[in-house]
Each structure stands twice: as structure tokens, then as C-alpha cells.
Amino acid sequence: MAPSATTANHVEFDTNKSKVKSLQLDGNEDHDLVLRSFRVLIADVVQQFNGGHPGGAMGMAAIGVALWAYTMRYSPEHPDWFNRDRFVLSNGHTCLFQYTFLHLAGYKHMTMNQLKTYHSASEESLCPGHPEIEHTGIEVTTGPLGQGIANAVGLAMATKNLAATYNKPGYDVVSNTTWCMTGDACLQEGVGLEAISLAGHWKLNNLVLIFDNNNVTCDGSADIAVSEDINAKMAASGWNVIEIMDGSHDIQGIVAALKSAKESTDKPTFINCHTIIGVGSAVAGDAKAHGAAFGQEDVDNIHKINGFKAEDKFNVPEKVYNFFKTQGPSRGANLVQEWEDLKKDYCAEHSKLGLEFQARVKGKLPNNWEDFIPKDLPTSATATRKSAGLICNPLAQNIPNFMVGTADLSPSVYMAWPDKVDFQSPDLITVCGINGNYSGRYIHYGIREHAMAAIANGLAAFNPGTIVPVTSSFFMFYLYAAPGIRMGALQELQAIHIATHDSIGTGEDGPTHQPIEIAALYRAMPNLLYIRPSDSEETAGAFTVALKAKHNATIISTSRQNLPQNKESRRDAVKYGAYVLREKEDATVTIIGVGAEMCFAIEAAEQLAQDRVSARIVSFPCQRLFEQQTREYRRSTLQSNKTVAVVVEAYAANGWERYANASISMKTFGKSLPGKVAYEYFGFNGKVIAGKIQAYLEDLKQERIWKSEFVEL
Amino acid sequence: MAPSATTANHVEFDTNKSKVKSLQLDGNEDHDLVLRSFRVLIADVVQQFNGGHPGGAMGMAAIGVALWAYTMRYSPEHPDWFNRDRFVLSNGHTCLFQYTFLHLAGYKHMTMNQLKTYHSASEESLCPGHPEIEHTGIEVTTGPLGQGIANAVGLAMATKNLAATYNKPGYDVVSNTTWCMTGDACLQEGVGLEAISLAGHWKLNNLVLIFDNNNVTCDGSADIAVSEDINAKMAASGWNVIEIMDGSHDIQGIVAALKSAKESTDKPTFINCHTIIGVGSAVAGDAKAHGAAFGQEDVDNIHKINGFKAEDKFNVPEKVYNFFKTQGPSRGANLVQEWEDLKKDYCAEHSKLGLEFQARVKGKLPNNWEDFIPKDLPTSATATRKSAGLICNPLAQNIPNFMVGTADLSPSVYMAWPDKVDFQSPDLITVCGINGNYSGRYIHYGIREHAMAAIANGLAAFNPGTIVPVTSSFFMFYLYAAPGIRMGALQELQAIHIATHDSIGTGEDGPTHQPIEIAALYRAMPNLLYIRPSDSEETAGAFTVALKAKHNATIISTSRQNLPQNKESRRDAVKYGAYVLREKEDATVTIIGVGAEMCFAIEAAEQLAQDRVSARIVSFPCQRLFEQQTREYRRSTLQSNKTVAVVVEAYAANGWERYANASISMKTFGKSLPGKVAYEYFGFNGKVIAGKIQAYLEDLKQERIWKSEFVEL
């Protein structure tokens, strides 16, 4: 990768160095000792369990010193301080880097014994194989590559938005910086590239992305799979670019770069740090240093060349701890007090805004948030995507916690409210006259669904509840977003995803846009509420559930086409996952209706009634919520001992077998036809369904099929 | 977007033009008539059904004329000619563009009546809402944005690989070019960016990407969500960049650019064509021109300003047809004959290679391909990822159809065979001494799983069977690849995906890497065989199934950890999806064992036997294959009327309810612990499982739980 952009700091980089066994430090004695101790410790920890990722952490040590000792604003005593700098390790497999710096910087929980639990069988380890948000000092869970960059973009946006909303002259109550480490991989992954493009567009000058450019991936030299000029590419994407030629040693150079990044630009900054993976080991600069222990012989040698005895395991000299005590942490404690004082004065001078700000800091919605959910929704046939807009718009308009965005489907998702202001760099107004600035809460993500989901996770992770991100797209493209949705669910981050065009009712766009199997993924995903309301009332219920679910991500799955409003529909019952929509004491059949296909379930029941078959109807918007109900409730809802249940949904049947004996469902991909015609084509028609159910009942009676055998009718 | 790179053709571009109602043509009378007729026809077709995407097709008309009349090598009479140029419409929603040029260029099936079926209720329409591979003249199905670029990269790679393998001096039997259209969206999507990076790296100079730069997306001006210098970004990514300032009119300039792209560079070429969406309509240059009909009044006006009467619907003057007859198609017919003659001479002079080439053209594997699947596999405990390597390596080594790749996990996936040659630009040898050239069949995709899957689709789509792409990564990252896997399944393209680390046995990497819910997606996906073998023999069976499944994509899901070889295991039974591994006439319980957790199923059965509970065991590697068996076979395998079935799998249970009454499965995400410890932690242990099954049997007996109620034990 040829250097080609602004370089703040040039130390001649000798490519032959990538194989050197001895270390070239920056002349500062403290630095020398810290780096040596850090690298030896990493080698020891990984060797102990004979597994893990040592090379990256060792190569990045100088960057860590520059961050934790000289640059980042944080307090180990107040790890959740609201205005702390956020650090994201997008190359999460190098987690020992972060754990060890948390230890050195004085985070109490991160003891030497904890470090030793890395890769161990300890169920109580705070040092899992990738950083996990549950643990103190970790801002987001990372590991799936590229997403950390997008999380960092979300965190930086949160700062920008809160600062633009609450800061007043003399009162920068929100002013933190987001620092993100990346390896080669995150810069290859599409989600990383999408997020980079957005950060440049939004001119997030409070975001610094530090590239651990060791030019090594699992397969060997990164040159095997990438030939681009990364500096030029980042510059073309709207980033300020700084290059550090000896990033494994040049702490002073890195500190200068980090400070310049923070102070002197209106763009996000990319610091291209050339490093040596596994520096000091026998496999320095080689892929072998990436994901395995070095072996005892080499670890002994690493000790030796770093001035430690081979038998000195897990030995961090007191001087190293002292170095950090006299640098970062002491500054950190002061910072928190200064901020608390500032906040106090701010609240005194700006009392109304101060109250709101304090609520945001606590992550609270206004007490009356439920009042903003409309009581009266259309009683005429309405697409649930429109209902979702009617419900979400007043919430977003009135509740500052809401940040609502779309992956370029504003005209289809109805998420824009009157007089919305876009989240944009104020400069953009000169380009296209848009009504936007950083206080805006409507986000145009462009056509970047995966980054949208991962950025939403960053927004939610800034501080629990401070921001409630809402995303929107076609349900099909939540498959593009799936890895981000999964990470949100795993982290128990509250986010609401509005997914429209959720069945073959999507119509003419055809099978590429008709998501007949995507729900199976989300219904199986822990902590994720996939809610498919059948009309406006249930859509309102879905929003209430989603806003009360502080530890869940929710997908509200809506229709493109108009759906009739069912008079028995109950918004308050959505929280049970399923409920009896229409009871019949003498029923032999339970028809389970779901979402946009509820209308066919009702038609079929009415047709069956004409044919003297008594059918009851259950509305079933959310499997996961239903599973949380008592056995008693589930039995009384399904009546599976008294009736045969048939589910009606234009999806693959997978998963419905738990509740139904048979399905009217999709066995193939869909087809490009107008929505109504597509439904007809695939047999979604009350009369056809009723006929199939009657034939099925006859098959059961004749014992051609057993009730225990699930069948797709 | 400021122009910044090499520009082959500059016509002064007046930004005010984006709103002009009249057309500025290039002075050529034929061109003038063709463009006018084309645009009027598009407006008519979309107006007829009052829906669809007219604006893009109208704006791109000049590009279409340059391609179909002057540049592309094809023959309408031989639409499947092996050496034809490939055209990919990555912005698939503009499909009317392609359908209409197929019509004008003389593809017999694409009649005017067919064009009129666009967006209609016709089940036999050849003009669905997005291009579909089933239909003549369509190379790949597109619509989900960004993927078309990756498909085009795969198609161009196929050409490079076949040319390097078969061409001889004087005999360029494979020499086609791949042309790909893209809009703004595909250049925002991560998968597009991943593919662009790879095309630059591989120096695919037979690939031309044409950017319909109308600067409009659904949300309005593209400037709302993108600020980058696209030309500089593409140049930094290793592309040759040409800019056309008036791409809606300047046919001559576009032709010059296309020809120069084909002839004068060692890089792929990006042609940045500034166009006007909906040119000539009242909403020209506006997002409103994107996805809706113009309304009759405007359509009448479009007729008028283009010199047609308002009442002249679907009127293409004979001169327009003649223009195409005297340009492209006539050249096309000659080309096919020339190629057939060349091939004949080639086969005469290079008889051995000629035979092989002819087999490849027919898409045939060698007749003896099954012989390359090893008969003897390890009888000791072996990870199925290693077994997959032992099976795939000799296939790949001996069968030229195989192109095997990995998303940077060569050390983990075991897909590299001895003396493999990498697919690389021969220039790369000078950078990192890699053993690679275009005839290589091992592909380093880098950390780009989504592009990997979509590129594999392109490789498979080149010609059915000519290339059998194999991809490999961790199963978790097939969630990143999911949209590409889906498109492969939808298109019935044969591809084999090797997904290792497929359960919590993955261990220390933790829940971010433990795919406990991803199988639910793939088991629900039509045309996709998700096969989870429990040992080496079943892995061999999985490969046989995958290679015989000419119209399916297959995921072979393998373990990181060693698995015992089961003596009753049957490779030939994998094709049934499930089979009885261990029968017991007096069984009360059927334990369904799956993949890496089969060992726990067997342990549990043995424990139960000690406790005098008779349990039979079913191995169940593939649900979709089992569903294809007769009811008789399914009943005899499951014995659900005689036994209670419990499935043992460390995944979410969703979908198993069809075959089992209860599960030993995952209710949450996993945990970072060594693999064996993780299994213990979540109760995967023969003794624990046996105890749970006994308690369950007691619950059934006491009628605390009904057999019809699926329970997660």
C-alpha cells in the first residue's frame, strides 16, 4: 500500500524490520518498559492456555499506550461516565489488547487473575474470546468483522446529536470522542466500507479510526486479497488521513497523530499505522502470529529479548502501573468531577433543557410516552406500513430519544414525520439545500442496510435508553442487515426495526423482494422479537411492546398492501404473542392467522362456517412472546387437545409445527405478479383454504394422515 | 461528485440540463430516432399498468444503444452461445431497459406483446419486475442491490480462468467481455464495494462497470447520503476510470469509452456516465421519475416532444428495428459461426485439451467424478471440517470444473489441496511471490463473505456446470453471505458452501462466533440443501448429494472439533435426509442426533439403555432431503406413532417440531468457553440428556405435558 495522502508523522519504515526480533523503541524509558512488559504479558497469557490471538495485541501495544495513557478521556473509577470517550475494538479477536490496557489503566475488576482466565474454562471470566458489552469497560461487543467500525460511527453520531441538542455556549456537556481500532479485515468487509462512506458524508470529526496495518490476515500477506491504495480511498471517502510508518514503536508519533485528529479537522480521521504483528516473536510479521500461542520456547525468548527472565510469568513491574497512575486515570477522575460541576451549572442556567438532558443521561423516555401512541387508528383497510408510520411519527416527533432512519426508502416506509430535521452535517445545506444538521433525528442511511443496523447498535450502546434507534427498510433487506440485527439482539440493545413489504403481497418486484423464509431466522434468534401485526391495532400493540422491551431488539413486520381492520383485534393482546381472535365453543379447527394473511384466515373460517365446519381463529403476531406465557395460557389459546390447528401464512412453514398440525404456506420462492394475483397464484384465498382444510380433516378421519404429522396443505 | 480521473470523453455537461424537457441528441439521425422511440415505448409500458420503474431505463437509453448496437458480442439466434459477452443489470429494477433492448436487438421471444406483460397479472410473462435467469437473454437474476456487480466479477473471472486454461496461440476460444450496469445504490451497498475491491485486485480487464450516474435515489438527491469522490475511490481501488459527461445522449462518446475499456487497459474499467433519470418527462432529474408511472398527461407530452402522436401507443418505427438489424445482430450470427469454426480447428490441433474443453462447454463433470471421493476416511475421531477437506481436495485437484475459495480462512477450512494454484493476476507474483495466475482455481476472497457468495453465483452462472464453485468460511459468517446464498438458491445455481465451526463446539470465540440460529434460515430457504453430517462418512455422502444436485446450492455444515466416527453411519443414506442409525424394536424413544451433537445422542441412548429405557437413534443430516422422501419412508424412519422423539442439537429448536416432540437445544446465545466446556455448560452430556428424557417421559405419563406439546428440555 503506497503512502499517498497527508502524513503527519514520518518515521522511516524499513520493511525488513518486520522480521526483526529485537525492539526499536522511541527513546522514552517509560515507554520502553511498558511496551516490553505488555508484550511479554500477552505472550504469557496466550501460552498459558495454548490458544488465542497474541500477535495483533503485541503489534498494537504502542497504539494502546498512546490511547490509554495520553489521549483518551475516561475514568476507571467511573467506567460508565456519560461523557467518557468511547473505544471500539473492531478487530475484536485482539481483545487481550483491550483487557490488558484496562488492567494497566486501573479498572479494578480487571485483575491479573482475570486476565489469566482468557480462553479458560472459567464461567465467570470477564475476558471472553471477543469483547462483550456486559463487562465493565467494554462499549460494544465485537468479533464479526467490520461491524465495529459501524458501531463507532453510531457512537460518534450519538455524541454529535446530543451535543447539537444540549450544548450551550460555555457548556459542552457532551463532548466525547470515539476511537476505533481496525485491522485489515474490517476494511475489507462491506459493512465497514458502508460505515466509512457514511462517516465521511456526515463529517464526523469526533471519530478516529486507527488502522492496525500489519498487512497480515489468516491466509498470509494481506496482499493476497487486496491491492488498493487505502489512503487514497479513505481520502476520496471524505476522511482526513494520517500515516504512521512505525506504529509498533513510535508512541510519540501516534500521540501527535491522535491529538491532531481530535483538534484540527472537520472530517473523521483515519490513522494508517504500519505495525508488526507478533513483534518480538519468532513469527513476527507472519500470519502464524495471528491466532495461536507461540510455544514455550519462543515465549521464553520473548521474555529474554524484552529483559525478563523466562521463569518470570505474568510479571508487570510496579513502574508500569505507576506510569499509568501518573498518566491517564488521575486525569480521568478529575474529568468526571469537572463534568458533574459543569452539568450542575448548566442545569441551573438552562433549567428546562437541563431537566431533559438529565432524563436522557438516565436513559429515560418521558413518563407520558404511551400517550403519543394514537388511540384512534384508521378503521378502514390500511397497509400496516402506513399504520406503523401513523404510530411512530408522533412518538418520534415528541420524544427526543427517537432517532429514526431508513435505508433509502422514505417514500415506502412512512417513517418521516412533519417538519422532521435530518441528521446531517450542517455543511450539506450548501450542496443540496436539505433541512438538516446534527440535532436532526431523521437519518438517511443510503442503500446500506447492514451498516444501518450496526450503526443503530452504536446509537443504542452510547448509553442505555438515551437513544432509541428506529431503522426501516423492506423486510427482504433485513437479510442484508441480519449480522447487525443479530449483534443487537446478542447485546440486548433496544432498537426497533420497521420491515415493510413482508410477504408475497409485495407483488410485482418478484421473488427477489418477497421474503418467504427470512422470518424463520428472526423467530429463531434469541432476544429478538419478530412481531407481525395483522392490522393497525396490532401494530400499535407492537410498538408498545417494543418500547417496553428494554433488552430486546424488535422487528415490526408490515405489509405493503392494505389490510382490513379486524373488529376483534386487540392491541393490548400483542404482548401475549398470540390470542383468541374469534372463539367458537364447538370448534373442530383452530385457524392461526398471521400478519398480512390474517384476512385469508378469517375468510376461510367464514367459508368453513357456511360448510358447517366450526373454526375458531387465533391471531399470532409473535412466537417468542407467546413462548413466555404460562402453559395454561398457551393451552387455552391453542386448544390443541380439542381442535386441529392450521396456520395461514405466506412464509415457509418452518417453526409453526410447534403450534399447528398443518399449514397453508409457501413451499417455494414467490413470483413476480401483482400482490393480489400472487396470493391467488399460491392459493391464498378463503375458499381454496377452506377446501384444503376440509380435505385435510377428511384425510385425518380416514387416517391417511396422522394429526401428529405436520403437513403443508 | 467532482471529476478527478482519466476522462476519455468530455462533453460539456450543463447541470441545468437535468430539467430540460427537450432532448439533445448527438446529431446522428438513426440515434435520434432510436432514443426517441425507446423512451416513448418505456413511458407507454409503465403507464399501461400504472406502475414500474421508467426513469432509469429512459436515462440509460444511450448506453443501451452503445452496448447492443455497437459493442456487445452476442447473437439473438444463439442466446446461449458459450463465448457471448455477458451483460448484468445490477440495478435490476430498471429491467425494462434490458427487456426493451432484447426486443429491439431481435431476441425472438421478447415480442412487443411480451413487453406489454411487464407488471401485469400474466403468469407466463417473460418480463418480471426484476430480470430473472430463467428467461432467455438474462445472465443472472438481479434486484437485491450490489450483488449484480459481484455476479459480474464472477462472470469475468470465469472467462479469465477458462481463457488461461484453454486458449492457445491463434485460438482464443474463450474471449468474451462482461458488461455490468450499476446505479448509485449498488455502489453504496457493501457487497458491491467488496466486489469492486476484488476486481481491482485481480485486474479483471475483461470487466466493464457502467455507472448510471443520475444522482437520484428513492430518498431524493443521492447527495443526501453520499459525498465521496467516486472516480478517485475507484481509481484507488485499482480501476481504470472514464467519465462521460452527457451519458443520456452522447452515444458516440459512450461507444468510444466502451471500446477503449475493452482494448487499452490492464485493469477493470469504470465508466462514470452522468445521466438524467426520466429524461424528457415532467419529472426528469427527480426521484419521482424512479418508481412510478408518469401519468397519462405527461406520457402524452413525452410522445409529443419525441415526435410521436399521443395516440400512437407502443409504436416502434420499422427504421428502428432496421437500425439494430444492420448493426448488432448480423454481426452476432457471424460471430457464432466463426467461433464454431475456431473450436473445430482448435480441437483438431489440441485434441486432448479440446476434448476437455468440449466437456466444459457442455457443463459436464468427468464421468468418473465419484471415484475421486475417497472410499477410506479416517476411522478415528476427526473434525468434519477436516473430513470435508479430505473429500474435497482430491475432487478439486482432479476436476477442472472446481473453483474453490475461502473468505480468508485457509488454515481453518482445509480446502487447499497440494500444489494448488491460486486464481490471481500473474502480476501479483512480483508483489508477494504467490503461486498464482488466472488458470489457478483456489480463490482468496479476503474477508468478504457476501461478495464471495455472490461471485460464486457469477462463476456458476457463466454456463451451467462449467464451473462448480466451492466457498468456505465459518458458518456464522454465512450470515454475512446470506443474501448471496439466497440468490444462488433462487437461481438454482449449483454451488457448494463449506461452513465450519457450526455450533457451540466452536468454543472460546464465544457467542459472536457460535451460530445457534443460522440453520433455521437455511432450512427454511427453498432450493437450498443444508446438510449437517455427523462424521466423515456422512460428510462424503453430503458431497455426493451436493454434486448431483445440479439445481441446488448446498451448505455442508462441519465441526471445528473432532467427532467420533459412528460405525453404523452410512454415506449412501445422506441422500434420504434422515435414516435409522440404530434400530430397537421395543424402543419407546427415538433420539434424533444431528451433526456434531450426534455423539451426545448416542451417549444418551446408551445411558438410557443402562436405565432400562429403550431408545432408537435416527441420524438427521438434512431436513429438505427428508421432506422429499415418501410418507412411508418418513414414517418408518421416525416411528412417531410408537415412540416419542427427542432431537439433540445445539441450535435453536425451531423447525425440529415437525419431527420431534421435544428437544435438547439452545434457548439462548452461546458462551465463550472451550468447546467441551461450552457443551457441558449448556447440558450437552449423555447423562444429563438421558436424565432430562426420563423426566420428560414421566411428565408425559403423568399428563403434565402432552405429547403434542413441543418442549425444550
| Cell of residue B97, nine digits | 431497459
> Looking at the predicted structure, is the pLDDT value of residue B369 above 80?
yes
By C-alpha distance, the chain A residue nearest B426 is A224
pLDDT band at residue B5 using 50, 70 and 90 as cut-offs:
very low
Residues tagged in the binding site annotation of A for Mg(2+): 184, 214, 216
Instruction: With CB atoms and an 8 Å threshold, state whether B520 touches A518.
Output: no
**What pLDDT band is residue B691 in, cutting at 50, 70 and 90?**
very high
Q: Where in A160-306 does DSSP place strands (E)?
A: 178-182, 207-213, 216-217, 220-221, 240-244, 269-274
Q: Which chain B residue has the Cα nearest residue A523?
A: B654
Nearest Cβ partner of B194 from A190, A227, A477?
A190
B14: confidence class by pLDDT, cuts 50, 70, 90:
very low
Q: What is the gyration radius of the CA atoms in chain A, in angstroms?
A: 28
CA distance B436 to chain A (A): 10
Phi–psi pair at A359, nearest 5 degrees: -65, -40
- Residue B26: the pLDDT is 67
Residue from B509, B512, B631 to probe the interface with A (highest A Cβ count within 10 Å): B512
Answer whether A674's CB lies under 8 Å from A682's CB. no
Average of per-residue pLDDT values in chain B: 94
Please answer yes or no on whether B706 and A476 come within 8 Å at the CB atom.
Answer: no
pLDDT digits (tens, 9 = 90+) for B247-282: 999 999 999 999 999 887 899 999 999 999 999 999
Cβ separation A513–B121 shorter than 8 A? no
pLDDT of residue A675 exceeding 60: yes
Closest partner CB to A225 (pick from B186, B201, B291): B201
Q: Which of A197, A221, A236 sits opposite B188 (nearest CB)?
A: A197
Q: Dump pLDDT digits (tens) for B629-647.
A: 999 999 999 999 999 999 9
Residue from the list A411, A431, A482 with its beta carbon closest to the beta carbon of B218: A411
Over range A598-602, report the average pLDDT: 98
- What is the distance, to the nearest Å, from the Cα of residue A210 to the centroid of all Cα atoms in its chain? 20
CA distance A372 to A363: 18
B449 min Cα distance to partner chain A (Å) = 8
Residues of A in contact with B287 (CB under 8 A): 411
Of the candidates A132, A189, A194, A449, the residue annotated as catalytic is A449
C-alpha to C-alpha distances, A295 to A36, A44, A119, A277, A308, nearest whole angstrom: 18, 10, 16, 16, 17
> From the list A128, A221, A483, which residue is nearest B672 (CB)?
A128
Please report where in the chains the cell 447485546 appears, as a residue.
Answer: A491
Per-residue pLDDT for A94 more than 70?
yes
DSSP label of B514: -
Name the grid cell of B492.
Answer: 438454482
- Give me the DSSP letters along B333-398: HHHHHHHHHHHHHHHHHSHHHHHHHHHHHTTPPPTTGGGGS-S---SS-EEHHHHHHHHHHHHHHH
- B363/chain A closest Cα distance in angstroms: 26
**Which whole number is the average pLDDT over B550-578?**
97
Q: Tell me what pLDDT residue A25 has.
A: 57
| Contacts with B485 from chain A: Cβ below 8 Å | none
- Going by the annotation, the residues of the binding site of B for Mg(2+) are 184, 214, 216
Q: Which residues contact A687 (CB under 8 A, 6 or more apart)?
A: A603, A604, A607
| CB atoms A521 and B526 under 8 Å | no
Helix, strand, coil share (%) of chain B residues, nearest 5: 45, 15, 40
Cβ distance B93 to A509 less than 8 Å, yes or no, reads yes
B216 contact partners, CB below 8 Å, separation of at least 6: B55, B184, B222, B277, B285, B286, B287, B289, B290
Q: Which of B141, B221, B655 lies nearest to residue A512, judging by beta carbons?
A: B141
Among B89, B120, B219, B516, most A C-beta atoms within 10 A, so best to mutate, is B219
Closest partner residue to A447 (CB to CB) among B188, B291, B677 is B188
| Alpha-carbon distance values, B187 to A125, A477, B218, B272 (Å) | 42, 16, 15, 12
**Interchain proximity A218–B509, CB inside 8 Å:** no
CA distance B447 to A217: 9
pLDDT > 90: what percent of chain B? 90
Residues of A in contact with B2 (CB under 8 A): none
Q: Which residues of B are part of a known binding site? A: 53, 93, 143-145, 184, 214, 216, 290, 385, 412, 477, 501, 509, 513, 560
| Mean pLDDT, rounded, for A494-513 | 97
- What is the per-residue pLDDT across A511-530, written as a single tens digit (0 to 9) for each? 999 999 999 999 999 999 99
pLDDT in tens, A616-671: 999 999 999 999 999 999 999 999 999 999 999 999 999 999 999 999 999 999 99
Cβ atoms within 10 Å, residue A293:
20
Amino acid at A541: G
CA distances from B205 to A547, B90, B162, B256, B514 (A): 52, 19, 15, 16, 40
Question: Which residue from A59, A335, A79, A45 is spatially nearest to A181, judged by alpha carbons?
Answer: A59
Above 60 in pLDDT, residue A15?
A: no
Residues of chain B contacting A476 with CB distance shorter than 8 Å: 144
pLDDT digits (tens, 9 = 90+) for B317-354: 999 999 998 876 667 888 999 999 999 999 999 999 99
pLDDT reported for residue A266: 93
- Which residues on B lie below 8 Å from A523 (Cβ)? 520, 654
Angle between helices B318-326 and B328-349 (to 10 degrees): 20
Output the known binding site of A: 53, 93, 143-145, 184, 214, 216, 290, 385, 412, 477, 501, 509, 513, 560
Query: Quick check: A490 and B669 CB within 8 A?
Result: yes
DSSP SS3 for A478:
helix
Residue B555's alpha-carbon distances to A309, A483, A651, B523, in angstroms, are: 50, 18, 21, 10
Nearest CA in chain A to B705: A631
Nearest chain B Cα distance for residue A551, angstroms: 14
Q: Which of B114, B123, B126, B408 should one mutate to test binding to chain A, selecting the residue with the greatest count of A CBs within 10 A?
A: B408
| 3-class DSSP state of B587 | coil
Residue A423 has pLDDT above 80, yes or no: yes
Q: Which among B142, B188, B710 has the least Cβ separation from residue A446?
A: B188
Residues that constitute the known binding site of B for thiamine diphosphate: 93, 143-145, 214, 290, 477
Q: For residue range B429-488, what is the model confidence (pLDDT) as tens digits?
A: 776 777 899 999 999 999 999 999 999 999 999 999 999 999 999 999 999 999 999 999
Residue B27 above 80 pLDDT?
no
pTM of the model: 0.96
Contacts of B337 (CB under 8 A, 6+ apart): none
**Which pLDDT belongs to residue B309?**
95
| Residue contact B225–A446, C-beta within 8 A | yes
CA-to-CA dists, residue B168 to B162, B165, B203, angstroms: 11, 9, 21
Q: How many contacts (CB atoms, under 8 Å) link A and B?
A: 365
Rg (CA), chain B: 28
Distance (Å) from the alpha carbon of A23 to chain B's nearest alpha carbon: 25
- CA distance between the termini of chain A: 59
Domains with residue ranges and CATH for chain A: 15-333 (3.40.50.970), 369-563 (3.40.50.970), 576-712 (3.40.50.920)
Chain A partners within 8 Å of B226 (Cβ): 197, 201, 446
Contact B200 A228 (CB under 8 A): yes
Q: How far is B411 from chain A (nearest CA, A)?
A: 7
Average pLDDT in the B213-239 region?
94
Residue A13 pLDDT greater than 60, yes or no: no
Q: How far is A318 from chain B (nearest CA, A)?
A: 31
Report the gap between the CA of B347 and the closest CA in chain A (Å). 35
pLDDT at residue A478 tops 90? yes
Half-sphere exposure of B155 (CA within 13 A, CB side): 29
Interface touch B512/A143, C-beta < 8 Å: yes
Q: What's the mean pLDDT in A374-384?
A: 96
Supply the residues of B annotated as catalytic. 449
Beta-carbon separation of B710 and A657 below 8 A: yes
Burial class (CB in 10 A: 0-12, 13-18, 19+), A359: middle
Q: What is the pLDDT of residues B378-408, one digit of tens each?
A: 999 999 999 999 999 999 999 999 999 999 9
B429 or A152, higher pLDDT? A152
Q: Which residues of A touch B185 (CB under 8 A)?
A: 408, 447
Using a CB-CB cut-off of 8 Å, the residues of chain B touching A635 are: 709
Cβ contact, residue pair B189, A190, below 8 Å? yes
Residues of A in contact with B673 (CB under 8 A): 121, 123
The contacts found for B627-631 with CB under 8 angstroms, 24 or more apart, are B627/B577, B628/B577, B629/B576, B629/B577, B631/A709
